[in-house]
Amino acid sequence: MLIRQNGPVFGSSNPYSPAGETLVDVSTRNLRSTDHFNGTAEQLQRQTLDTYVLNIQHMVDISVTHNFTERFSMNVGVPFVAASWGIPSPQSAGDAARANEHSHGLGDISVGARMWVLPTDRFTSGNVAIGLGLKMPTGNSAAQDTYVDISGNNSRLRYVDQSVQPGDGGWGVMLDVTGFKSIPHAQLFGSASYLANPRDRNDTTSVGINISAAANPSTAADTSFNSVPDQYMVRLGGAVPFGNTGLAGSLAWRAEGLPRYDLIGASHGFRRPGVEMFIEPGFSYAKGPNVYSFEMPIGYYRNRFPNPYTGSSGDATFPNYIFLASAGHRFGNRSDASILANRANSARGAGTAGAASASAAPAVSVVGTNFKPFKLKTPDGVQKTLPDMLGKTTLVVFFYPTCPFCNVAAPDIQKIADTYKVQGLSVVYINILPEEAKLIKGWQTTHGYTSPVLTGGSTASIQNDYDVTSTPTHYLLDAKGKVLAKHSGFQPGDEKQLELEIKSALEGKTALGAGGQ
């Protein structure tokens, strides 16, 4: 089962995919497993005697996800499988006598829907989504290949092993939950997926019958036929952006398993229940509408559970590594400016930034006009107005504490504040996300930032009144509050231009204009 991870847009001032966007993604899953386990004990003799099974699996999954709204999306996944399973036949002849069984073709197609639980216009630093889907039995669960029996004789057409069948033969219900939480310099994430297969077993004979040397092996035992088992996956981790490059590194804990007993219905037939746990390093890269990712789960714990009804311990092979890669393209994607403007429009009327004399001020602060007045508060609840914060030159930074780009810029802003404070520079931060106000004191203390931070305005009013289309947004003001320059976004190196503008303003020279990334 290839689990699709459709989560937030990492590293954006708006982490959600906008309404009308469609993501087309091609994902691959590749593994090779030869190491046998009975319970948690590795069966090392299988390697010594060359009697181990060689299981190779390749899967390509083409998925399409469409966002009907910022909170609600639907997806369809179409997998293609190419796999093989082989065991020496006869086993005494070792690896040279391996009888390989191959399969390939369309897998089980799935369709699903997902919805973010909390309102996306307010909860941009963390949220939880729930998903529900349907898996259809479109893959062949009775694929066959020509190979010999366990004695090395009687080559003929036989069913391939359960682990490499393209489908499992049952309709399934897919349940999932996913979430994220932005923290300074990083983003935490988690997901859990469960595929419930109500069908008990299918009509395909299991491995013991397929490789039997008997002329007419008995199929009286229930385990002579393949079970249609449930599957699950859990993943927890974090990701860190590398500056403003679009590249991010990640590290996660991952568990994949097949339970002994199904959530719905009986659990007869042959199955290899068990679980494997992994440490999963990875990286992702986003550029424009394209996004790429690679992860390599590294196994560290394996446990082959006993069969559910016979109690037989059996064994199973587990991979040491899994290679996961994906490439996606977003159609109908809009810029942060469009996304934030739409969100501001939908939330308009929810509150104001506390602007004084709002009727006399311009709708949006632009270069050459007076900066729109405000009445905001410090984290301690002390009210501050624009005149309270003005210096000879003032730098106003719109941000939020978990914004990755804001946190790239903040150390440089602190250096500039320290350097030019004695010359009359005032630096003030304005938080744009009310739900992150509680993080401000910790953010300042952790990093040693000394510039004051104000909060209290709604996201919609700040975006509307100050044209904040991405974070951070910097405004440079003169001593009377006139806008000298504006910059949206931040890339390494922008601090040099900002410092030149501040020096020029402090020296009383005419300023500078608008900028952006």
Give the model confidence (pLDDT) of 147-160 as tens digits: 999 999 999 999 99
Position 138, amino acid:
T
Residues 378 and 497: their CA atoms lie apart, in Å, by 29
**What pLDDT does 135 receive?**
98
Mean pLDDT of 382-391: 93
Residue 223 has pLDDT above 80, yes or no: yes
Average pLDDT, the chain: 87
351 has pLDDT over 60 = no
Average pLDDT value for residue range 460-480: 87
- Give the pLDDT confidence score for residue 338 in this predicted structure: 41
pLDDT at 125: 81
Q: How confident is the model at residue 8 (pLDDT cuts 50, 70, 90)?
A: low
Q: H or E segment at 415?
A: helix 404-420
pLDDT band at residue 339 under the 50/70/90 scheme: very low
Q: Which pair of structure tokens corresponds to residue 76?
A: 């369809």
Length of the chain equals 517
Per-residue pLDDT, averaged over 292-299, amounts to 97
**Residue 22, Cβ neighbours under 10 Å: how many?**
16
Cα 267 from Cα 271, distance rounded (Å): 9
Looking at residue 357, its pLDDT comes to: 31
The candidate with the shortest Cα–Cα distance to 221, out of 269, 260, 262, is: 269
More confident residue, 75 or 465: 75
Q: 3-state DSSP call for residue 188?
A: strand
Residue 358 has pLDDT above 90, yes or no: no
Q: For the residues 330-342, what does the mean pLDDT come to? A: 52
Q: Over 80: is that where the pLDDT of 14 sits?
A: no
Strand partners, 58: 30, 82
Please confirm whether the linkage preceding 306 is cis (ω < 30° from 0). Answer: no
Residue 444, pLDDT above cutoff 80: yes
What is Dmax (Cα atoms) for the chain? 99
- Report pLDDT digits (tens) over 407-422: 889 999 999 999 999 9
Residues of the chain with pLDDT > 70: what percent? Answer: 89
Among 146-150, 346-350, 378-382, 504-508, the range scoring the smallest mean pLDDT is 346-350
Contact 435, 123 (CB under 8 A): yes
Decide if pLDDT at 58 tops 50. yes
Helix axes 494-506, 404-420, angle to 10 degrees: 30
Other CB atoms within a 10 A radius of the CB of residue 287 amount to: 10
Band (pLDDT 50/70/90 cuts) for residue 461 is confident
Position 337 scores a pLDDT of 40
Domains (range + CATH), the chain: 22-333 (2.40.128.130), 350-516 (3.40.30.10)
Residue 32 makes CB contacts below 8 A (sequence gap 6+) with 54, 55, 56, 57, 319
Winning range, highest mean pLDDT, from 15-24, 241-250, 300-309: 300-309
**Residues 28-48: pLDDT tens digits?**
999 999 999 999 999 999 999
Q: How far apart are CA 431 and CA 173, in angstroms?
A: 42
Whether the pTM exceeds 0.95: the reply is: no
Asked if the model's pLDDT at residue 1 lies above 70, the reply is no
**DSSP structure class, residue 90:** S
